[in-house]
Structures are given as C-alpha cells and as structure tokens.
Structure 1
Amino acid sequence: MSRERTEVAASAQAPAQRAQARLRVAVIDRDPGFMQVLANRLSALGCEHRALSTPATVETLVAMRLNALVLDLAVIGPESWDYLERVCGRLPGLAVIVCTGPSSVAQRVRGLRLGADAWMTKPCHPEELICVIEAAVRRHRRHELPQVDVASTIGEITVRPDLYQAYVGEQSLELTAREFEILQLLAQSDRVLRREEIYERVWGYAMAHGDRSVDVFVRKLRQKLRAMSPAWSYIHTHFGVGYRFAPELEVAQLESANGAADAAPELPPDLVQQLG
C-alpha cells in the first residue's frame, strides 16, 4: 500500500490507536460500605473496577487485564500468604496493594517481601488508597509511548507516527497497529527492553507469567523488516531478557568478514626470493 492511500485511512485511525488505556482495578474485599465508597470514587475518576468477594484465580486476573489489585488478606484466609506470593510471582507487572485490618510489623514486612507494592491498614481514607493505587501503577507502567509525529529514517526504513506505518522508499511494510507500536517503542529506546516492559507499555496492562505475545509480534515484525530491507538487521534478541533496536548493515559486515578471510597471507622475504 502506498503512502498516499495510507494517509487517508490513518487520519481517523491514529488518534484512537494512540489512546491510553483506562485504569483497570479489581478489589477483593467483603466490606460492603468500604467497597461502595471506593467504587463510587473510582467511577468518578473514570476507572474500570471490579468488586470480588472471593479470591480470583490467577487465570481470571489475567483475563481481566488489570493494572492494579486491592486485596484484603482476611478474605483469603489461611492461604493468604501463598495467594499473595502466587499473584505477585505470576503477574509481575500488576500493582498489588494489600488493604487489610490491623497487622504486625512482621506481617507487613512479609507481605511487601512477597511482592506487594504497598500495605494499607483499615480503616483508611478511600482518597489515600486511590493515591497509593495510582502511584503503584505509575511505577509499573513507567512512561506511555511517546507521542512523536515527526518522521524518522533508521537504516532503510522511514517511521511515520502520523500514519502509524513504516516504509522502505514508497513501499509500506503493512504493519499492524500493535507491530508499529512495538517498532516505535524499540526504535526510541537506547537500551535493552524487557519483555514485561514492552508488554506493559504497548498492551497497557500486566503481562502474565509465560505469555509469549511479545515474542510472537517481534517475530512477525522481523519477518516484515527482513522482507523489505534484507541487507539490514534491526532487532536483536538478548536471551532471557528482551530486545534491543540497533540497525546494522549485515551485507557490509559479511563482506568485511569475507574480505579478511580471503586476504592472502604475507610471505617471508626469503621465500619470495626463492619463488622469484
């Protein structure tokens, strides 16, 4: 697809694609008064929220696509510590706030060491709790994708944020919105990005343990880059960590290596005289 045809469709689609995801919060609690006050305040702030009177499985929490979980350990019962550890371990990008009754220093320390982002003691003011939720989500979310509308050329590709597309010459790479967001994020970073960070910043919520979505999209993105720009290598894998964007001219590297291998070794002077 040419740039001219893409511009027509992109003018209406790009703003919606760049829209930030709403904050999604789940609250596991059995205090109806507390839940109602908190729900009213979250709704007033435009947050999506779910009230749960029983603990949800990790799989259910993943399906809910949450940014934050507020948890009363008293609802869980004897398995509360195991549940907290399991949720924090399986959902490292989820902001977890324990909001429960009076506790000892040892209990609070244990909860935080198991992975909770914050510990609030009831009774607490809903406004304070919401501020704690927002702060925890900010730490996990880092920064949203930068809103850059200036075209940039990297290697052979031209990235057009205004069109949500990338090109080699006049030829579009035919990137999906998700593929473009990953390309833009990687291209604007000067470091290795963890898979979890890529997921949180592109998808907008926590990545479940074992989720391979980032790897799948990066593989498709690489295939499109390689098909349109075969002489260049753009995305590099750091095994066990994530990905780094660093355009490298593969042909030049190959020719340099071949040239060094094919260079004739210098002969000793006495052998040169004998051959002469």
Structure 2
Amino acid sequence: MNVLIIEDDSSIQMLLKLSLEVEGFQPTVAGTIAAGLEELAANPIDLILLDLMLPDQSGFELLKTLQQAYKEIPVIVLTAKNEMNDKILGFQLGADDYLTKPFETRELVMRIRAVMRRMKADSLQQTDILQVGVIEMDKNERTLKVAGKLIKTTSKEFDLLWLLSKNPKKVFTREHILDQVWGFEYYGQTRSVDMMVNRLREKMKPYDHVLATVHGTGYKLEV
C-alpha cells in the first residue's frame, strides 16, 4: 500500500518512513504541500499522512484541495495542534482520522489499517445509488441531488447523509454518527455533528426539513 507522508520535519519523516516500511507499507515523503501535490499527480497513492503546519501552506488548505481533486484518498492528520476547534475543522474539511504529536507509531499503524478496512468495506457495498424521497445519491460519483438539483457536499457531509438515507426514519445518536462517519470512537464534543447537519440543511433548502432532529437523541431522515 502506497502511503504519502507530507511532513517537513526530517526526523519525523525518517521515523515514519522506517516504521511504515517495517510494517510492509510503501511510504513516500514530501516536505511541502507543493511536493505532495506533485507526488499525487505522478503516482498512485492509497493514503495520506498530513502534517498541518507546513512551510509553504497550511494543511487545512490542502484538505480543501484534496476534497475537490482526490476525495477518494483517505487522510490521517498528524499535528502538534491539539485544540478542539482545529480537530473539528480538520474533520469538517475531510480528514478521516487525527493524531496529535507525540504519538506511538504502533497506534498510527493501527489507525492506518482501520481506515483502509473501512474504505474496503465501503467499496464492497452493493448499493451504490440511493433514492429516498427527494434525495438521490450516487456513491460511486459522490453526487447528491435534492428534487433533481445537484448539491455540492464535502466528503463527510455526503457520508453523513448517506448513512441517514440508507436507514430512513431510523434515529442515530450524535455519538453513533461520529463513530460511523468519522470511523473511530471520538471523545470530543458532538457539536461537529450539529454543525454539519446545519450546513446540509442550508444547502438542501427548501427540503431541509427531511433532516429531522430528534430532541435529546440525535437525527433521522424523515421521508
């Protein structure tokens, strides 16, 4: 499996590269966002390890670019920034996991494998097109239409709505949504789910009412 490490600290680069090689991965190192984008354009990449504090640009900006051009590639953020707002923003911009430095390389390897298992399970889903009420979703194309109108979404917004649309009228707690959409047990605040639902509702107007709040519990798709 080809892993692209976008990290400017040479000692961390070497540690990650050697650790991943021992585990059977094929790591490539880039010290800047520009170099990382060159690698993405030239070589097949299965997963990205991304530092947020890079010399040429913020990793947050790269996450936005990846959502537009490489949204099929999962991203694990590696950073010294441990503020909750930074974590929430990273997930909202499409990160699949988040590790705060310093971390154990064994934990990183476990998280990489967990992310790839989820990606493989996703690819084996038999139902790739859903139509529920006014909502039509194509998982292969990652497109959403509401009453025939194409709506642009982030990767996580799409995944959240896909989860609810596959299970219409089923109530999901915020914790369950975090676990299913972000893919691991998330110990932070659940407000990121509320923020994402609010953004989806704004995009889906005048059909935003189908994303129903179940007070004191979570959300469901009402059709």
Give the match's secondary structure for 2:75. strand
2: CA distance between counterparts of 1:62 and 1:103? 30
1:112 aligned residue:
91
1:42 aligned residue:
20
Q: CA deviation at 1:60?
A: 3.7
Q: State the one-letter code of the partner of 1:195.
A: N
Query: What is the number of equivalent residue pairs in this alignment?
Result: 133
Q: State the one-letter code of the partner of 2:108.
A: L
1: CA distance between counterparts of 2:104 and 2:81? 15
Change (3 A) 1:57 1:190: closer
Q: State the one-letter code of the partner of 2:101.
A: K
Q: State the one-letter code of the partner of 1:96.
A: V
Indicate whether 1:52 and 2:34 are aligned. Answer: no
Change (3 A) 1:103 1:143: closer
Indicate whether 1:69 and 2:48 are aligned. Answer: yes
1:195 aligned residue:
140
Identity of aligned pairs, percent? 27
Indicate whether 1:128 and 2:107 are aligned. Answer: yes
Give the match's secondary structure for 1:102. coil
Indicate whether 1:140 and 2:85 are aligned. Answer: no
Give the match's secondary structure for 2:24. coil
1:32 aligned residue:
10
Give the match's secondary structure for 1:94. coil
In the TM superposition, what whole-angstrom CA distance separates every residue of 1:72-112 from its partner, at most 9, and x where no partner exists? 11115554322211113321211101101133111110011
Change (3 A) 1:60 1:32: closer
Q: How large is the RMSD of aligned CA atoms in angstroms?
A: 2.6
Give the match's secondary structure for 1:74. coil
Change (3 A) 1:38 1:87: same
**Which structure's residues are more often helix, by fraction?**
1
Q: State the one-letter code of the partner of 1:34.
A: I
2: CA distance between counterparts of 1:110 and 1:143? 24
Q: CA deviation at 1:57?
A: 5.6
TM, length-normalised to structure 2: 0.52
Gap runs ≥5 in structure 1: 1-22, 146-187, 198-276
Aligned positions of 1:1-276 closer than 5 A: 23-55=1-33, 56=35, 58=37, 60-76=39-55, 78-142=57-121, 189=126, 192=129, 194-195=139-140
Asked whether the equivalents of residues 99 and 120 of structure 1 are also in contact (C-alpha less than 8 Å), the reply is: yes
1: CA distance between counterparts of 2:105 and 2:36? 25
Q: CA deviation at 1:196?
A: 5.5
Bigger radius of gyration, 1 or 2? 1
Change (3 A) 1:39 1:101: same
User: Which has the higher relative contact order, 1 or 2, with Cα contacts under 8 A spaced 6 or more apart?
Assistant: 1
In the TM superposition, what whole-angstrom CA distance separates every residue of 1:122-159 from its partner, at most 9, and x where no partner exists? 011111111111211222232777xxxxxxxxxxxxxx
Change (3 A) 1:143 1:105: closer
Asked whether the equivalents of residues 78 and 101 of structure 2 are also in contact (C-alpha less than 8 Å), the reply is: yes
In the TM superposition, what whole-angstrom CA distance separates every residue of 1:230-257 from its partner, at most 9, and x where no partner exists? xxxxxxxxxxxxxxxxxxxxxxxxxxxx
Asked whether the equivalents of residues 58 and 87 of structure 1 are also in contact (C-alpha less than 8 Å), the reply is: no
Change (3 A) 1:113 1:32: same
2: CA distance between counterparts of 1:144 and 1:84? 22
Give the match's secondary structure for 1:89. helix
